[in-house]
Structures are given as structure tokens and as C-alpha cells.
């Protein structure tokens, strides 16, 4: 099996992290892989915000937890995350942003870094607090939060893959 297929089959969502940060050179490779995702008509509608600052990481965790109505850390202790947002003015923005998320998780796995998609970025960045955060970074535009790709070194092994459902694949011919 080639290395790409192996990564595609072996990547799993990690929900337990050590506090060690993701080294900068590895984070940069993950971000670059995200930026090379295919996008509709190559409009490159997504943007990524890499968060390594603990204060902002904790702020996003709190905002995300509030959407769910809990106070537990939805980022499972991960020290680093990449928020993906995409420009609502581009018809394919949701697909574009989702594919960036896929690239990020796969790149992380291939580099020995655990990851998981954490949802509710839409609610987070539609809120006044989220909009203010974007403004403070100089980000202006009609952006919708697509997801958070949390990153870090696995503390406990991830769950193994669930069996694939029946009739996942249909074939013609």
C-alpha cells in the first residue's frame, strides 16, 4: 500500500492530547498542505488562522463550549489549532473549506500529529465576540467559520476506525 493511501486509511480523530506544542516547522507544513486543497474555480475562498497563543486558544474553547452549553474543553486539551473560515460570497465556500480541513487532518497524521475536526466554528464566528476577534486580526469580509482542526501529540491512543457501513459504495459496470 502506498504512503498516501495508508495515511488516508489510518488517520483517526484524536481526543486526548499532551500539552507539548506542535513544532513551528511541522505546523507550517500542515498549513501549507491546507492551502493547496482544491477549491471551486480556484477561487481559494478559505482562510486559516493558526492559534498557538494559549489565551486565544482558551477563549475559543470557552466560546465553543458555550455554543454547546457546557464548560468542558471541546478541544480536548490540544495546545494548537487551526481555524478554517471561508468566504460566503463564493458559491463553493463550504466545500472549499471542508476540503482544507481534510488536507489539514491528513497532513497532520502523515507528520505524526494527532488531529480532530471540532465543529461550531460558524456559531463562534457569527457571534459579536468572534467578529471582534477577526477584526482584531485585520480580517474583514463575509467569512463563515467552517471548523477547527485541533492539533497536538496524542496522549492516549485514538479510537480505531468504526466499520464502514454496508452499501457505502455502489458500482456501475
Q: Which residues bind ligand FMN (CB under 6 A)?
A: 12-13, 15, 116-119, 161
Distance of closest approach, residue 47 Cβ to ligand FMN, in angstroms = 18
Residues facing 4 on adjacent strands? none
CA torsion sign for 26, 30, 35, 37 is positive
- Would you say 80 and 93 are in contact if contact means Cβ atoms under 8 Å apart? no
Q: Which is nearer to ligand FMN, 41 or 68 (CB)?
A: 68
Neighbour tally for 6: CB within 10 Å:
12
Supply the minimum distance, in Å, between the C-beta of residue 159 and ligand FMN: 6
Give min distance, CB of 93 to ligand FMN, in A. Answer: 15
Nearest approach in angstroms of CB 68 to ligand FMN is 8
Q: To the nearest whole angstrom, how small is the minimum distance from the Cβ of residue 167 to ligand FMN? A: 18
Which residues, in sequence order, are CB contacts of 61 under 8 Å at separation 6+? Answer: 73, 74, 75
CB atoms within 10 A of CB 106: 19
| SS3 of residue 88 by DSSP | coil
Would you say 47 or 149 has its CB closer to ligand FMN?
149
Nearer to ligand FMN by Cβ, of 87 and 145: the residue is 145
Residue closer to ligand FMN, measured from CB, 23 or 157: 157
Q: Of 39, 41, 40, 60, which Cα lies nearest the Cα of 103?
A: 39
Nearer to ligand FMN, 45 or 98 (CB): 98
Cα–Cα distance, 20 to 29 (Å, whole number): 18
Cell numbers for 7, please give them. Answer: 495515511
Amino acid at each position: 500500500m502506498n504512503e498516501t493511501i495508508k495515511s488516508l486509511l489510518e488517520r483517526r480523530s484524536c481526543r486526548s492530547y499532551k500539552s507539548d506544542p506542535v513544532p513551528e516547522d511541522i505546523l507550517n507544513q500542515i498549513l501549507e498542505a491546507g492551502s493547496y486543497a482544491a477549491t471551486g474555480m480556484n477561487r481559494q475562498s478559505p482562510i486559516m488562522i493558526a492559534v498557538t497563543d494559549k489565551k486565544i486558544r482558551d477563549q475559543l474553547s470557552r466560546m465553543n463550549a458555550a455554543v454547546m452549553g457546557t464548560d468542558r474543553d471541546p478541544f480536548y486539551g490540544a495546545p494548537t489549532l487551526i481555524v478554517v473560515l471561508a468566504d460566503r460570497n463564493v458559491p463553493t465556500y463550504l466545500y472549499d473549506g471542508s476540503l482544507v480541513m481534510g488536507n489539514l487532518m491528513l497532513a497532520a497524521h502523515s507528520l505524526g500529529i494527532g488531529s480532530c475536526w471540532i465543529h461550531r466554528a460558524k456559531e463562534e464566528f457569527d457571534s459579536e465576540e468572534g467578529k471582534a476577534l477577526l477584526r482584531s486580526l485585520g480580517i474583514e469580509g463575509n467569512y463563515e467559520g467552517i471548523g477547527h482542526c485541533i492539533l497536538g501529540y496524542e496522549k492516549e491512543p485514538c479510537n480505531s476506525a468504526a466499520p464502514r457501513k454496508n452499501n457505502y459504495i455502489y458500482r456501475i459496470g
